[in-house]
Amino acid sequence: GEDVEQSLFLSVREGDSSVINCTYTDSSSTYLYWYKQEPGAGLQLLTYIFSNMDMKQDQRLTVLLNKKDKHLSLRIADTQTGDSAIYFCAEGDSGYALNFGKGTSLLVTP
Amino acid sequence: DTGVSQDPRHKITKRGQNVTFRCDPISEHNRLYWYRQTLGQGPEFLTYFQNEAQLEKSRLLSDRFSAERPKGSFSTLEIQRTEQGDSAMYLCASSLAGGPPGELFFGEGSRLTVL
């Protein structure tokens, strides 16, 4: 299948901004998603962006999409220890067969 | 708790045995999905139901795997003649047709260990 690539690990200090990057290969992707997985919990949709958008902001979250380079990023402003989790980038066109990356493990240190 | 629930949360079995997992979606959700997640990997799509109809199956779903959703509510995923490679977390998710695209509500998963 098509590939979704993410860096595996990111460590930031509390209060700093976190930027998690993702690249994908399927140019027909209609939507791109960021999911969060906390230990012992189910995946939770954080935000999504349509492929015809460049940016979407939702409170502390900013999603940037560079469709030409097939690059997606998630910026978390004022990162808190409660943001420590695994963040998955995913792409899809129909909304059901989502194609996930391997996830980026974010560690926020005090 | 009105979220997606899965049972059992953990199953240990010997190779060659059959196992069955159950998923109860959020009650008003008509779409139900099964994904599989192995250690260090993202979830991989297995299959999808809209109401009781199974509309899509991944090539990952070999003939040893069967999923049902007989009344359009709960679903079962059965694995026959388990192999060690089947060891994984099996995730169920549900969503509402017409809701935000890709807004899947995941359960906590059923972890399968095949010895």
Q: How far apart are CA A4 and CA A103, in angstroms?
A: 10
Q: pLDDT tens for residues A8-45?
A: 999 999 999 999 999 998 878 788 999 999 988 889 99
All residues at 6 or more sequence positions from B39 whose CB lies less than 8 Å from its CB, including other chains: none
Res A2: pLDDT: 61
**CB-count burial class (<10 Å; 0-12, 13-18, 19+) for B30:** middle
Record: contact B95-A95, CB cut-off 8 A: yes
Beta strand A4-6 with B19-24 is: unpaired
Query: Cis bond leading into A110, ω under 30°?
Result: no
Q: Does B105 touch chain A (CB under 8 A)?
A: yes
Q: pLDDT tens for residues B100-109?
A: 778 899 999 9
CB neighbours of residue A91 within 10 Å: 25
What torsion do the CA atoms of B26, B28, B31, B35 make, to the nearest 10 degrees? 0
Mean pLDDT of A102-106: 96
Nearest to B42 among A30, A88, A97 (CB): A88
